[in-house]
Amino acid sequence: MYTDDDGAMKRMPPKRTQWYNMYVQHPHRDCPSFQKDFRLRFRLPYAQFEELAKELQEAEAFNRWNRDGGAKDRANNEPSPIPLLLLACLRYLGRGWTFDDLAEATAVSRDVIRVFFHAFIEYGSTTLYDRHVRMPVTLEEGLENEREFKLAGFPGAVGSMDATHILLEKVSNRTRQAHLGFKMSHTARSYNVTVNHRRRILSTTHGHPARWNDKTLVMYDEFATALKDGSVLDDLEFELYEYDEEGNVVKRKYRGAWLLVDDGYLDWSVTVPPIKTTTS
């Protein structure tokens, strides 16, 4: 609620909220502290938020929130601003706010936020996923992802791989035990994720029960198994220093790419964990 110029109490419209004023209408783009706070609060840089908001405003999947000229619906309500709805989705994902918390911050009803959130998740898991999550398959893509690893002394490495767990609040009693991992007290789904040294996601599996360990998950990882059988990046070459039979240091060439992992993975040539004892 807010008080208008005549002193009357009225329902707060979304475009008068602090969120809309701070982050949509009058953002302090040139202020370093604003950029830092926005990244912390919504988990992505402000420039990327603007790009994504513009994309959603033009996407057919969000036409119901894109009524031309801000036309009102049958209940005489103006359409909720898509940038504000996007902020609500990002806060829900980044900090675990409830839809009721977000309704209080945006002056948009819980149901509107909920419906938009599900549409956003569907758009993100299809259109955005297919665009941004791409495993390297050509030599040029392999070399691009190898660059930082090579500078750090890991030639041939194109990514780091590990499992991550996503909380799953509702699970059937029949499958509950399978979704209770060894390291957590709540049910979850596990995803085997590969990223490059710039933290860009290159590949991920579908969700699996949290009780599955890394050895099991990697067998369902399309990228890791493709590296193992040589169907991708088999033309990437790199050199390693080794000792020959006479104890001399020599260079040896290898073909293919590999991934940095922890000790929980299978003993594949393309999954290299930390080595406690070396020949040096």
Q: Is 50 exceeded by the pLDDT of residue 69?
A: no
User: Residues 181-209: what's their mean pLDDT?
Assistant: 92
Q: Judge if 162 and 244 occupy the same domain.
A: yes
Average pLDDT over residues 255-269: 94
**Residue 280, domain member (yes or no):** no
Domain membership flag for residue 213 = yes
C-alpha span between 91 and 120 (Å, rounded): 13
Higher pLDDT, 66 or 197: 197
Residues 265 and 144 in one domain: yes
Joined together, the tokens standing for residue 175 give 């499958």
3-state secondary structure of 275: coil
Asked which of 105, 131, 157 is the last residue of a domain, the reply is 131
CB atoms within 10 A of CB 222: 15
Q: Answer whether 176's CB lies under 8 Å from 187's CB.
A: yes
Alpha-carbon gap, residue 266 to 62, rounded angstroms: 44
pTM here is: 0.81
- Taking CA atoms, 121 is separated from 19, 253, 255, in Å, by 22, 45, 39
Q: For residue 151, is it within any domain?
A: yes
* 26 and 123 assigned to the same domain: yes
> Is 277 part of a structural domain of the chain?
no
Which string of b and e fits 131-160 if b means at least 16 CB within 10 Å?
A: eeeebbeeeebbbebbeebeeeebbbbbbb
Residue 170, pLDDT score: 85
Q: Are residues 185 and 121 in the same domain?
A: no
Looking at 131, 156, 189, the residue that finishes a domain is 131
Give domain status of residue 279, yes or no.
no
The rounded percent of the chain whose pLDDT value lies above 70 is 91
Is 99 domain-assigned?
yes
**Residue that finishes a domain, picked among 115, 131, 147:** 131
The residues, any chain, with a CB within 8 Å of residue 246's CB and separated by 6 or more, are: none
Q: How many structural domains are present in the chain?
A: 2
Asked whether residue 168 falls in the same domain as residue 265, the answer is: yes
Tens digits of residue pLDDT in 1-35: 556 666 666 677 888 899 999 999 988 989 999 99
45/91 same-domain check: yes
Give residue-wise pLDDT tens across range 211-222.
999 999 999 999
Shared domain check, 261 and 154: yes
Host domain of residue 104: 2-131
Residue 205 falls inside a structural domain: yes
Residue of 275 and 152 predicted with greater confidence: 152
Band (pLDDT 50/70/90 cuts) for residue 280 is: low
The enclosing H or E element of 48 equals helix 46-58
pLDDT band at 73 (very low <50, low <70, confident <90, very high): low
- Segment 230-235 shows an average pLDDT of 94
Same structural domain for residues 89 and 184?
A: no
Q: Dihedral through CA 60, CA 63, CA 64, CA 66, nearest 10?
A: 150
